[in-house]
């Protein structure tokens, strides 16, 4: 009796979190479609089902990025050539910038990126439930539910990269092109010279100090991309980007 009571109780305690994750995701999905009419061919219920099958019933440390293939294929998303913005270790300033100006789109401005941004989720072996707490953290294990999602979504975003592509990197850290980042391990490796014209690095610096475009890690980045792609890099003081954020009418391209 004690065992079945425990099971019934834990089921009761965790099912509201499953329900609320489903509601959160479907609500965000519908809100996104409302604001982005080009996404209106998407079915949020179908997206939820494709998402859920990736991790429910699985060890949360053993979900490979391929588990999200069905989700990625279920979402209908047009690439926006010449306006795609990648980033590494600059999440805050990048999103302050993209929120205020209409110049660039990041993965978080696409349907899946917008919906999952800020959420935590996982399943459990031999359980059909969804959890939003007690899930492994980003570095607790390689194939964790959340990290594998960002790996897979980032791979799809980079596969679609076209025209002139921009990447905002952090010039205040020792290695702006960090070899363990998603940008280095997944995105750069999937850039295709046949679809892209150029890669422009915007190196965000603190008032003329820190790293420059001559940084060895940026030389590594340049070596990694197809030589047919044009590469350029510009160090831009953070204050200049802040100015563009506070004057959102600044023309795209006038910020650096």
DSSP letter for each residue of 129-184: --BSSSPPPTTT-TB-HHHHHHHHHHHHHHHT--EEEEEEEETTSS-SS-TTSHII
Q: ∠ CA 149-195-46 to the nearest 5 degrees?
A: 35
Interacting residue with ligand N1C among 91, 190, 195, 197 (CB under 6 A): 91
C-alpha–C-alpha distance, residues 39 and 33, integer Å:
5
Site string for ligand N1C, 145-184 (x = CB under 6 A): -----x---x--x-----------------------xxx-
Contact region for ligand N1C (CB under 6 A) — 31-39, 43-51, 80-88, 243-251?
Answer: 80-88
Question: Strands, DSSP E only, in the chain?
Answer: 85-88, 163-170, 196-205, 230-237
Separation in Å, CA 116 to CA 13, 66, 75, 91, 223: 23, 17, 13, 15, 32
CB 43, min distance to ligand N1C, A: 23
Contact region for ligand N1C (CB under 6 A) — 6-14, 27-35, 84-92, 125-133?
Answer: 84-92
Is residue 213 annotated as part of the catalytic site, yes or no?
Answer: no
The nearer residue to ligand N1C, 9 or 119, going by C-beta atoms, is 119
CB 12, min distance to ligand N1C, A: 30
88 binds ligand N1C (CB under 6 A): yes
Within positions 105 to 124, which residues make up the interface with ligand N1C, using CB under 6 A?
A: 107-108, 113, 117
From 241, 176, 168, select the one nearest 202 (Cα to Cα).
Answer: 168
The nearer residue to ligand N1C, 190 or 240, going by C-beta atoms, is 190
C-alpha–C-alpha distance, residues 122 and 228, integer Å:
41
Q: Which of 29, 103, 135, 162 is labelled catalytic?
A: 162
Is residue 29 annotated as part of the catalytic site, yes or no?
Answer: no
Instruction: Determine the angle formed by the axes of helices 44-52 and 2-35, rounding to 10 degrees.
Output: 140
Q: Which of 81, 141, 213, 255 is labelled catalytic?
A: 81
Give me the sheet containing 230-237, strands edge to edge: 85-88, 163-170, 196-205, 230-237
77 binds ligand N1C (CB under 6 A): no
C-alpha–C-alpha distance, residues 54 and 152, integer Å:
11
The nearer residue to ligand N1C, 91 or 197, going by C-beta atoms, is 91
The nearer residue to ligand N1C, 11 or 234, going by C-beta atoms, is 234
C-alpha–C-alpha distance, residues 103 and 128, integer Å:
42
The nearer residue to ligand N1C, 51 or 157, going by C-beta atoms, is 157
**How many residues form the binding site for ligand N1C (CB under 6 A)?**
17
Active-site amino acid positions: 81, 162
Q: Which residues bind ligand N1C (CB under 6 A)?
A: 86-89, 91, 107-108, 113, 117, 138, 150, 154, 157, 181-183, 187
């Amino acid at each position: 009796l004690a065992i079945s009571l425990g099971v019934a109780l834990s089921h009761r305690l965790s099912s509201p979190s499953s329900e609320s994750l489903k509601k959160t995701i479907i609500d965000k999905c519908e809100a996104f479609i409302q604001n982005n009419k080009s996404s209106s061919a998407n079915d949020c219920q179908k997206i939820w089902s494709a998402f859920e099958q990736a991790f429910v019933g699985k060890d949360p440390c053993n979900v490979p990025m391929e588990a999200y293939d069905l989700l990625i294929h279920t979402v209908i998303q047009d690439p926006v050539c010449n306006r795609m913005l990648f980033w590494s270790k600059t999440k805050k300033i990048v999103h302050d910038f993209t929120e205020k100006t209409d110049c660039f789109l990041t993965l978080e401005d696409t349907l899946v990126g917008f919906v999952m941004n800020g959420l935590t989720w996982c399943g459990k072996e031999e359980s059909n439930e969804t959890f939003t707490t007690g899930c492994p953290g980003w570095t607790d294990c390689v194939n964790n539910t959340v990290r594998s999602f960002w790996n897979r979504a980032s791979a799809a975003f980079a596969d679609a990269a076209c025209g002139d592509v921009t990447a905002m990197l952090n010039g205040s850290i020792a290695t702006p092109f960090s070899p363990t980042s998603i940008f280095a391990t997944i995105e750069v490796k999937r850039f295709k010279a046949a679809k892209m014209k150029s890669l422009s690095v915007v190196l965000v610096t603190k008032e003329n100090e820190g790293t420059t475009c001559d940084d060895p890690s940026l030389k590594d980045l340049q070596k990694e991309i197809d030589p047919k792609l044009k590469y350029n890099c510009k160090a831009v003081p953070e204050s200049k980007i802040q100015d563009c954020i506070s004057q959102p009418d600044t023309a795209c391209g006038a910020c650096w």
